[in-house]
Amino acid sequence: MFEKVLATFGSGGAKIDARLLDRAAAPGRPLHGEVLLLGGEVDQEIKGLAVTLLARVRVPGTDKTEDLPFGTRQLAGREVIRAGQQVRVPFELALPWETPVTGVHGRPLPGMAVGVRAELDLAAAVSDPFDADAVAIEPLPAQKRVLDALSRIGFTFREAVLEQGHIDGAPQQLPFFQEIRFAPSPRFASIFAQVAVTFLPSADRTDVVLEVTKRVRVSKSGGFGGRGQDFLGMFTVKPGVDWEKQLEDWLDQVARPRGIFD
């Protein structure tokens, strides 16, 4: 009886271990893994077993982050796991097309935290066991093409962030979006503070949102101040497009003076 009581508090109870079988994945592709169930010191009733995709997202207007779910799959319903029993439960989890990229060319993007959390729902338990594993998400070919173009025209990676919320006018599906931010090339360094890229892929297209922070002059004849003005551009990646030229042409348009303080 004492062992049963301890099991409800997690001591001597069932445990789980989530393992990913794919070294890397990509948006819109399936992710494969398995969950290892380890029976405890007593038989326990399971109410359910699920795996959930999580992303660490910045809360708007604060310095805080929270882990937001953006996809769940149930793997098991009500069952009993016997004392000492070991069960392997394979899973395939569909990654949404807008899943954030966590690395490019095998190099991780600092600040990105995307993972799979497996959670066992135990009847009568005070706390449920869970285990999480980080997921490596590589960009799709269309995303790589745009990122490579930015690098080739002299922009350098600065940081990547996940922002909770939606981009106005964009065909966004998830409750957050990724910004991959670049420092401007020497050609635009005196005009732009930074350029941020957001990818919004779907099954049949990849949309790109560019946000440029343009420095604002204090006066018509004076230098640039600390304030900035943001400009958005939206494009669809199409085969055969010279992205280096398209990006530079758009940036040239944004760089042109638009008023007495610009």
- Return the pLDDT at 4: 40
Please give the pLDDT value at position 11: 44
Task: Count CA atoms within 13 Å of residue 89 on its CB side.
Answer: 22
* Domain limits, CATH 2.60.40.640, in the chain: 2-134
Amino acid 228: pLDDT = 65
- Chunk the chain into consecutive blocks of 10 residues (it has 262) and report each block's average pLDDT, rounded to whole numbers: 39 79 92 91 86 93 90 88 90 96 89 92 66 92 94 94 90 94 93 94 94 74 58 88 91 78 50
User: Which architecture characterizes domain 2-134 according to CATH?
Assistant: Sandwich (2.60)
Predicted pLDDT at 128: 63
Q: What is the pLDDT of residue 227?
A: 55
Q: Taking CA 148 as the corner, what is the angle to CA 255 and CA 253, rounded to the nearest 5 degrees?
A: 15
Is the CB of residue 148 less than 8 Å from the CB of residue 244? no
Please tell me the predicted confidence (pLDDT) of residue 57. Answer: 95
Which pTM does this prediction carry? 0.84
pLDDT at 54 (0 to 100): 95
CB 171 within 8 A of CB 60: no
